[in-house]
Amino acid sequence: MMPFPRPFRPAAAGLILLLAAAPALAAKLPAPQADYSARQSLTANGVTTESRLFHSRGRERREATVDGLANVLILRPDRNKAYVMQPQARIAMEISPLDPEVGLDTALLATLDGEAQGKETIGGLQATKYKVQDVFAGGGGFTGTVWATADGIYLRVDGTATDGGEGVQVHMDLTGVSRGPQDAALFDLPADVRMMTLDTLPDRPPAPGTPMAAPGDAMPAPAGRAPR
């Protein structure tokens, strides 16, 4: 997955203050209770990623090709974890569910309150349109509009999400939604995947002279970029 641009922090901090000051809205957004697959188009700060999406009651897997490489993102809200994986290299890395690389986690979005604005039909599915301006329990928040089915399929999202200090303009659409059970193995990393802690995308080579780390060890960030 391609990391998203990181905008100027003071502007995002102002958004957090605005969200914190806003009164709680009446309706809780629908909890994700459905199993389905779909195509997802997610644009964050002008960068669009097209993915094949698999979803099971909050757990989610996105498969995309970025710069010619297969990339997989797995979201596990039941564990409060997220993973990025490169299947061809058999390596993966754990990231925060609020990391800008995730772009949008609808299971987290479903913890917010929103104001119902009416019903619309999107892709043959009936959805309620919600105006949202709320903060996540762990920091950050979302302000914008979402369209969701009664059982928590988020068909469209448009607004600004933050991870506690950075604002990201997001727009997401689902198409070709197909309901049905999803294989539980989709939402776990394969047993032979090596876990890395790396501050760059796994396909990028380290800076010249940088020693390689053993699997599971932290790898030093390349020159000019501080580790997280």
* pLDDT tens digits, 123-140: 999 999 999 999 888 778
Residue 228 inside a domain? The answer is: no
The angle at the Cα of 113, spanning 129 to 5, to the nearest 5 degrees, equals 80
Rounded Cα–Cα distance for residues 159 and 168 (Å): 8
Helix (H), strand (E) at residue 82 = strand 81-86
Q: Predicted confidence band at 10 (pLDDT cuts at 50, 70, 90)? A: very low
Can you tell me which residue has the tokens 């892709």?
123
pLDDT, residue 171, reads: 95
- Residue 41's closest CA among 57, 62, 60, 59? 62
Residues in the chain: 228
Residue 1 inside a domain? The answer is: no
CATH number of the domain residue 115 falls in: 2.50.20.10
Residue 119 inside a domain? The answer is: yes
Q: Predicted confidence band at 225 (pLDDT cuts at 50, 70, 90)? A: very low
pLDDT, residue 78, reads: 94
Model-level pTM? 0.74
Rounded Cα–Cα distance for residues 13 and 148 (Å): 28
Residue 207 inside a domain? The answer is: no
Q: Predicted confidence band at 213 (pLDDT cuts at 50, 70, 90)? A: very low
Q: How much is the average pLDDT of 172-199?
A: 93
Rounded to 5 degrees, φ, ψ at 124 are 85, 0
- Residue 20 tokens read as 């914190």
pLDDT, residue 21, reads: 44
Domain count for the chain, please give it. 1
- Map residue 20 onto helix, strand or coil: helix
Q: Predicted confidence band at 7 (pLDDT cuts at 50, 70, 90)? A: very low
Domain enclosing residue 93, as ranges: 9-196
201 pLDDT exceeds 90?
A: no
* pLDDT tens digits, 183-195: 999 999 999 999 9
